[in-house]
Structure 1
């Protein structure tokens, strides 16, 4: 997730005092973009620098990157107009939309020619989980509660379809981020865990996780990829400029940090499948957000 162009200085969302009134109407001179805390915050901030330069030039105004403390704080910031652009996870977008109608997705990441990706369940290579059914009676590590590929998809489209129900057949343990899930499983603190397959592959490539210490157990169905969203009340010409800045992004160095090959147009309807997935798990969207 390359969010580099947005970062003039690392900003922690709770420290943002700005409100919608500070946005100078619908055509603000400064745009704030939030990036999901699905990896270590310092890593996200470091990788965010090149994108900041691209967006600042393309949009002709200051662009500032914001890294939130968790998914909920990002949802609330978008809801109350403290940020103008946000790169949500699929399910966190659904949660945000359930609280604030004035949010619109306009672009989605494309990987291997598809606007979808998968969740993966991994297990400690020396642990008791050798196949999916073995998680019964053990803790399973997940990321943020609002994470698509590190909570919703592993539970609903992998474990639940095998007949395994959280807190009945296995203990649900939330550890925060995708990389924290991988480290938890690698160390054996939990014998299995669910996270994004692209993030897992990145952790392996970087050498953060050792391939010989973890094994692949199962994969989810395709999930609609992360949407880029913006406030609907921005000026039409600014909204078009923001769309163009992402849809025309071709620089492989920038796209590599998003773990995508490019961006394609998207709409809210593309995420209805996640609303149905939440229904399967009996999740109350209003209560979760």
Structure 2
């Protein structure tokens, strides 16, 4: 009973911080030796359980640079997380590539490592349509509609939207799948989940869909009975699966030690369970030339989507 009460108090504290932001009593690494790990989240309770084990692993290994405690602070969106970073309330953030680019732009966050999840450090977006739709290429999408996932998605919004804009297409948001689409435009809707995307295309509610190649290969998101009726009509360039970032003014000693601890974690048996819970992370990798070029390309695409679509 006592254990349950403690767990409920922890969850309540996380939810309170998520909802109230400025009232959450968290200090960053420059204050009293506390390291604060941040995450943009629409499910604070689940993400807390995924983040906490790795934070608990990292903190004692940073005692030599003054770190004695670890806290978690979640934000509802990139705007709120950028504010936390600018105000020094978050030190370390784990995010997808698009969110990382937005936090770089808005708050001066700096990527320090690539995050390899389930053995994959890069992935790409896959466009698909029904085999009997007559749509065989991205150019064929003019005058049709497409299902994205959600406005914050890297693989199922920012990357594919930028790809279509690069090909000279104009994107217009639709209120419903039945809305008409002009012959030179591509209409789009947000389906909220990968399974919804594949279902909408299969049921002919929309003409095409897009998701990551990892979701395409996942039968929970792309049922084999659906996939048999689909054809891939386009793919994007690869981009990082996820990244670890720090605020730009983080103490250099703390930054270097955090990077070292994370980079060494994959070789430490004591870190295996924490890494698994941390979004099935298999290892943290140095930022390479491919990552830099991919992030610059993604930043250009996101900027265009925000100017021409949003």
Displacement, 1:96? 1.9
Query: CA–CA distance in 1 between the matches of 2:32 and 2:49?
Result: 25
Which SS does the other structure have where 2:22 is aligned? coil
Select which of 81, 92, 96 maps to 1:89: 96
Residues 1:262 and 2:283 are matched in the alignment: yes
- 1:233-244 aligned within 5 A: 233-244=249-260
The Cα offsets for residues 18-59 of structure 1, whole Å up to 9 and x where unpaired, read as: 58x96267254333222244x865553443343233234434
Residues 1:145 and 2:151 are matched in the alignment: yes
Residues 1:230 and 2:246 are matched in the alignment: yes
Which SS does the other structure have where 1:26 is aligned? coil
* Residue aligning to 1:104: 110
Contact 1:18 1:82 in 2 (8 A): no
Which SS does the other structure have where 2:188 is aligned? strand
* Residue aligning to 2:27: 23
Displacement, 1:108? 0.9
* Residue aligning to 2:223: 210
Displacement, 1:111? 6.4
TM-score between both structures, scaled by the size of structure 1: 0.72
Contact 1:185 1:191 in 2 (8 A): no
Query: CA–CA distance in 2 between the matches of 1:115 and 1:147?
Result: 17
Contact 1:129 1:135 in 2 (8 A): no
Which SS does the other structure have where 1:221 is aligned? coil
* Residue aligning to 1:4: none
Query: Number of residue pairs matched?
Result: 268
Larger C-alpha radius of gyration, 1 or 2? Answer: 2
* Residue aligning to 1:64: 71
Displacement, 1:15? 2.0
The Cα offsets for residues 87-129 of structure 1, whole Å up to 9 and x where unpaired, read as: 122222222222223x221111246987432122344x58847
In structure 1, runs of 5+ residues without a counterpart are 1-7
Contact 2:28 2:88 in 1 (8 A): no
* Residue aligning to 1:76: 83
- 1:75-224 aligned within 5 A: 75-101=82-108, 103-110=109-116, 115-123=121-129, 128=133, 131-133=136-138, 134-157=140-163, 159-160=164-165, 163-167=168-172, 168-175=184-191, 180-187=193-200, 188=203, 189-201=205-217, 203-204=218-219, 207=220, 209-214=222-227, 215=230, 217=232, 218-224=234-240
Contact 1:142 1:173 in 2 (8 A): yes
Which SS does the other structure have where 1:149 is aligned? helix
The Cα offsets for residues 134-177 of structure 1, whole Å up to 9 and x where unpaired, read as: 544333222443432222211223x345554322522122355x
Which SS does the other structure have where 1:232 is aligned? coil
Q: 1:117 to 1:25 in 2, by over 3 A?
A: closer
In structure 2, runs of 5+ residues without a counterpart are 1-9, 173-183
Query: CA–CA distance in 1 between the matches of 2:145 and 2:275?
Result: 35
